[in-house]
Amino acid sequence: MSHEIRTPMSAIIGYADVLMEPNQSASDRLDAVQTIRRNGAHLLTIINDILDISKIEAGKLTVERIPTDAAQVLEEVCSLMRVRANEKGLTLRHAIASPFPVTVKTDPVRLRQVLLNLVGNAIKFTDDGSVTVNASFAAGESPVLRFDVTDTGIGMSPEQIARLFQPFTQADSSTTRRFGGTGLGLTIALNLAHALGGGITVASEPGKGTTFTATIESGSVDGVSMEPLQRTVMENAPPPPAAPGSARLDGLHILLAEDGPDNQRLLNHYLTRAGATVVFATNGRAAVEALMSTTPHQRGFDLVLMDMQMPELDGYGATSLLRTKGCRTPIIALTAHAMQGDRDKCLTAGCDDYLTKPVECGALLAACAKWAQRQDAKAA
């Protein structure tokens, strides 16, 4: 784990130093920025894996049981992973066999995580050929969804398979040296599958590829319609349409309650570039004073971005105090707390929405635009 964490950190710090060198060309600087961003995203994945395995080992893992379009979840996963497959020259296809329920009762976030781990693992250990995901439904006393993820990769021996689902472990030391990784993905996927009422099995042969089979409980499908036809997406399907341009915030007056100077500068950059005017509060008490001191002759705030961990008065206390004082301005929580229940804690305190750090620019602007529109509709 030390190696896995220090490797991207070395790249982030090293390329940050490169950016400060005065003789770097524009292309060199762009390469450095892309390297920092790529390694930062990788480090965030490692952190999420560590948090998940900690919850599992502490017995704190919880799952929901809500109506879920499992076929849509699978299609989203394959759409996301197709970029990685294309980078390695691999074919990625998936098929959904009929009959397949339109909705099942499960946790869509955890199902997506299981599939991302299995498909990502297959792509990682496959240098040539393909990765195929077949989804099917098995009726019976305890109906289940089944997902077979088959690759043409390096394969494994029975001895390697026996070590496969142990935390912080890969098939053998040569695998770790060649491919890297924390050895947590499959452990997490297995525990999540168990939590969803199923499990994961594996069949493999050295040099001939591997098939991981994940099952999850579907719950009762009485009254649920079934997909009438087989749905298949082949290897080089066109990428999904590009996401629309970032939301504009022209004319919005936003209070940003954030005590970290670096985060202040970054969020201010995102918001002002989108057309907003930003006022800073460095702690919760200052945020309350700024909101409650607005006179009828002053322009009020259209919304608040509230960091939940601040000195003097934190975001939870500030939000609760504002609500008791009758403030109805939309408040979006910004927090590094991304564990199960943290969203509910923010909403219970009086926040209208919840974004986790590191905040992605598009998600931030979309949330601001959404709540500003709702505020305008209420005013009208």
Q: Are residues 210 and 318 in the same domain?
A: no
The predicted-structure confidence for 204-250, as pLDDT tens digits, reads as follows: 989 889 999 999 999 888 888 886 444 544 444 444 443 444 689 99
Please name every residue paired with 48 in a beta bridge, in sequence order, or none if there are none. Answer: none
The predicted-structure confidence for 95-133, as pLDDT tens digits, reads as follows: 999 889 999 999 998 999 999 999 999 998 899 999 999
In a domain, 289, yes or no: yes
Specify the pLDDT at position 245.
46
Mean pLDDT, residues 140-158: 92
Specify the pLDDT at position 233.
47
Rounded to whole angstroms, how far apart are CA atoms 13 and 36?
8
Q: What distances in angstroms separate CA 95 from CA 33, 174, 318, one per listed residue?
A: 38, 33, 50
Q: Are residues 43 and 133 in the same domain?
A: no
Q: Are residues 266 and 138 in the same domain?
A: no
Q: Are residues 207 and 315 in the same domain?
A: no
In a domain, 245, yes or no: no
Which domain CATH number covers 204?
3.30.565.10
Mean pLDDT, residues 258-267: 88
The predicted-structure confidence for 66-89, as pLDDT tens digits, reads as follows: 999 999 999 999 988 888 898 899
Q: Which amino acid is at 14?
A: G
Q: Which of 17, 35, 57 represents a domain boundary (last residue)?
A: 57
Number of domains comprising the chain: 3
Which domain CATH number covers 35?
1.10.287
Mean pLDDT, the chain, integer? 85
Residue 172: which domain range?
66-233
Nearest to 337 by CA among 323, 324, 349, 325: 349
In a domain, 238, yes or no: no
Q: Are residues 216 and 283 in the same domain?
A: no
Specify the pLDDT at position 336.
80
The pLDDT-based confidence of 352 (bands split at 50, 70, 90) is very high
Q: Are residues 77 and 220 in the same domain?
A: yes
